[in-house]
Structure formats: structure tokens, C-alpha cells
Amino acid sequence: METPGLPDILIERARAGSRRAAARLITLAENDPAQRLEIARMIYPHTGGAYVIGITGPPGSGKSTLTDKLAKLLRKRNKTVGIVAVDPSSPFSGGAILGDRIRMNDLALDKGVYIRSMGTRGHLGGLSVSVGIAAKIFDACGCGVILVETAGVGQSEVEIAGTADTTVVVTVPGLGDDIQMIKAGILEIGDILVVNKADRPGARQTASTLLAMRQLGEPPDREWIPPVLLTSADKDEGVDKLLDCIGAHRVLRQISRSQRNERTDRLREEVLALLKEKIADRVLERHGLPGELELVLGDMYDRRINPYEWVAQKAASCTR
């Protein structure tokens, strides 16, 4: 049985092509915040080259098929591709069935594709942090493009969209979900809107609805107006146009101020969060606060001690 490798050994092996090492790194990073920071620090010099594309949409929209076809097209263009596929975890058990790979069987043996499936729960620091570190690890292994596929339900999509350079929102005709998605604010995060399964009746109507809705929500000074594309992913139709569109978005961002601003904002958020995490933990430990809290918790419960006052006192004394 293998002993869990130290991060630097794993990183070396991952970069040398060991899939096992790359996968182990992601697990380590997901589960241990201390390891995550170490890993992020060590792989940093090898990252920065990957372009992250988020693909989101309601169940049944064909996202996994679209992701599969995009990956294949990118492979034809000689890119090494990383795929992170996120599926909802059960709110009751915390478990999940991660089934996106079923549509990506052809890619399983492709040496130029890395795939990781994740559930939405159980991520210390949040889902987007785990997705983020997985993407960085793939980046460090040489992936030029990273596709992040998410389930399109709930907050996580908006969160993850923050980590993507281009976000593609996928819908299908006839499910009535265009209204749902507008309510959830999903459309606002989309840089490109796709109507998949466009061979079905109602495709053009759905596209028109999206165009109309988009018109309503648009801030006037937006540099990029999200286009609406039609695809039939299972027939491999429209996927090349989608990829070209993503390319165009990428170019625009490179020359625009907003990309720099956005990425700077993201970086600030990420670093502040890490700082808070690391520093807070250290300060709390050094002052023995978690231990102290245990002792007074009973009194707090019985309302003999005001918890808010206690916090104010402790904070003041720690930061004197």
C-alpha cells in the first residue's frame, strides 16, 4: 500500500505525467486546507497558462455531451484539456452520484485529457475553492484549457462562474427553463448563451426569448454582448462555432480593462480569504480561544454570559 506522498513529490510526479499523482494532489488539496496552501504555493510557478471555461445549465440540457465534444475539438487542435465535472451532493447524506463521465467515455484513455468529478458538498473553504485548486493542478500538469461543468442549480454556479474566464450557459428548447434561469440570475453570469439540442422543435423560439431577456438585463456600457448560439452537441453541430466564440471572448478580455479588473478582484478575494483563514486560525490557537470557548459555552447557553460581549472582549485583547 502506498504511503500518501508529500506534496512536492506528488507535484514532481504529476508534472512528469503520473495521473495517480495528479489525482492524489487534488484529493489532498480538497481535504486539507494546510496542504492546499502548500500545494498552491508550490505549483504556482507552473500555473497561469490555462484558460478556464465554465459550462453550466439545468439538468437535461446536454452539458456533459457538450463538454465532451468541446474537449474532443480542443484535442484536435492539440490542446491538453482538463475537465472538472461538478454534480449536486445529497443534502441528507452528503454523498453524491457523479455521473458526468458517462458521456465522456471516449476521453477516458486520452493521454491529453484530465478529468475529475466533484460533489457540491464537503469542501472546506467552499466548492469554488476546490474547483479552483483542481484547475490549478491541471494547469500545472500542462493543461491549456480547463472545462468546468456544473449542475446549474443553486448558488454554486454563480460562485464557480467567478473562477471561470468564460462562462457558457446552456439551455434546451421546451423545458421552460429559460424562465427559471432568469429567476435564478444564471443568465447574468453567462458570457455565451447556448441553446443545445437545437434540432428539437422550439429551438428558435428559445433563442429569441433569450435574446429578448438579455436585452432587458444589459448594463449599457458592457463591452461584450453575450451571443446566443444554437448547437446539437450529440450530432457535433455548432460546437466549432462555440469554440470560436469562446476564442473571441478570450481575445476581447485580453485587450480589455475589465478582464484585468475582474481577475484582480478575484485574486484579491482569494488572497484575503486565505489570509483570513490562516491568520485567524493561528491567532485563535495562540490565544487558546477555542479551548476557552468550550469552558464558557455552557454559561453562554444558560444566558449567564453574553456571547457577543465575550467576542468583543477577546477580539480587543488579541489585537492589542
Partner 1 sequence: MSDKNENIKKAREEWEQGLLQKTLSRFPERENIHEQRIYTPLDVDSSPEYYTEKIGFPGQYPMTRGGQPTMYRGRLWTMRSYSGFATAKESNERFKYLLSQGVTGLSVAFDLPTQIGYDSDDPHSEGDVGKVGVAIDSLEDMEELFEGIPLNKVSTSMTINAPAAVMLAMYQAVAEKQGVRPDELQGTVQNDVLKEYLARGTYIFPPRPSMRLTADLFAYCKDNIPKWNTISVGGYHIREAGSTMTQELAFSFANAIEYIRSAIEAGLNIDDFAGRISWIFTADINVLEEVAKFRAARRLWAKILKERFGARKPSSWMLRVHTHTSGSILTAQQPLNNVVRVALQAFGAVLGGTNSMATCAFDEALSIPTEESATLAVRTQQIIAYESGASEIIDPLAGSYYIEAMTDKIEREAEAMIGEIEAMGGAVSAIENGWMQNEILSSAYKYQMEIEKGERTIVGVNKFTSDVMSDVTLTMMDPTVRETQSAKISALKKRRDNAAVEKALEALKKAAEGTDPLYPRILDAVRAYATEGEICNTLRDVFGEYVAVKLI
Partner 2 sequence: MAIRVLVAKPGLDGHDRGAKVVASALRDAGFEVIYTGLRQTPEQIAAAAISEDVNVVALSLLSGAHMSLFPRVVRCLQENEGGDILVVGGGVIPEADIPLLKEQGVAEIFTPGTPTGVTVDFIKRAMAQRGVS
99 binds partner 1 (CB under 8 A): yes
Quick check: helix, strand or coil at residue 237? strand
- Choose the stretch contacting partner 2; rule: CB under 8 A; options: 84-92, 125-133, 192-200, 233-241: 84-92
64 binds partner 1 (CB under 8 A): yes
Considering the complex, what minimum distance in angstroms separates the CB of residue 275 from partner 2?
24
Considering the complex, what minimum distance in angstroms separates the CB of residue 102 from partner 1?
5
Query: How far is Cα 194 from Cα 204, in angstroms, rounded to an integer?
Result: 11
Of 147, 153, 159, give the one whose Cα is nearest residue 123.
159
Query: How far is Cα 107 from Cα 100, in angstroms, rounded to an integer?
Result: 12
Considering the complex, what minimum distance in angstroms separates the CB of residue 201 from partner 1?
9
Considering the complex, what minimum distance in angstroms separates the CB of residue 126 from partner 2?
15
> Pick from 47, 117, 180, 259: which binds partner 2 (CB under 8 A)?
117
- Choose the stretch contacting partner 1; rule: CB under 8 A; options: 36-44, 102-110, 161-169, 211-219: 102-110
Q: Residue 261 touches which of partner 2, partner 1, none (CB < 5 to 8 A by kind)?
A: none
> Which is it for the CA torsion 40, 46, 48, 50, positive or negative?
negative
List, as own/partner pairs, every contact residues 173-178 make where C-beta atoms lie below 8 angstroms and the sequence separation is at least 24, other chains included. Answer: 173/197, 173/198, 173/200, 173/201, 173/202, 173/203, 173/205, 173/206, 174/200, 174/201, 174/202, 174/206, 175/58, 175/60, 175/61, 177/58, 177/61, 178/206, 178/209, 178/210, 178/213
Q: Residue 31 touches which of partner 1, partner 2, none (CB < 5 to 8 A by kind)?
A: partner 2
> Pick from 37, 96, 248, 300: which binds partner 2 (CB under 8 A)?
96
Closer to partner 1 at the Cβ: 234 or 270? 234
Of 207, 145, 148, give the one whose Cα is nearest residue 173.
207
DSSP string, 60-80: TS-HHHHHHHHHHHHHHTT--
Q: Residue 65 touches which of partner 2, partner 1, none (CB < 5 to 8 A by kind)?
A: partner 1
Beta bridge partners of 296: none
> Pick from 31, 155, 261, 306: which binds partner 2 (CB under 8 A)?
31
- Choose the stretch contacting partner 1; rule: CB under 8 A; options: 100-108, 135-143, 162-170, 306-314: 100-108
Sheet holding 51-56, edge to edge: 113-119, 81-87, 145-150, 51-56, 166-171, 192-195, 228-230
For residues 300, 123, 266, 48, the Cα torsion angle rounded to the nearest 10 degrees is 150
Closer to partner 2 at the Cβ: 23 or 289? 23
> Pick from 6, 102, 272, 312: which binds partner 1 (CB under 8 A)?
102
Residue 102's contacts (CB-CB under 8 Å, 6 or more residues apart) are: 64
234 binds partner 1 (CB under 8 A): yes
> Pick from 33, 112, 122, 307: which binds partner 2 (CB under 8 A)?
122
Query: How far is Cα 121 from Cα 94, in angstroms, rounded to an integer?
Result: 6
> Pick from 49, 59, 60, 94: which binds partner 2 (CB under 8 A)?
94
Q: Residue 221 touches which of partner 1, partner 2, none (CB < 5 to 8 A by kind)?
A: none
DSSP string, 238-253: SHHHHHHHHHHHHHHH
27 binds partner 2 (CB under 8 A): yes
Question: Which residues of this protein are in contact with partner 2, per CB under 8 A?
Answer: 1-2, 18-21, 23-24, 26-27, 30-31, 89-90, 92-99, 101-102, 105, 108-109, 114-119, 122
Residues that bind partner 1 (CB under 8 A): 59-60, 64-65, 97, 99-100, 102-103, 105, 234
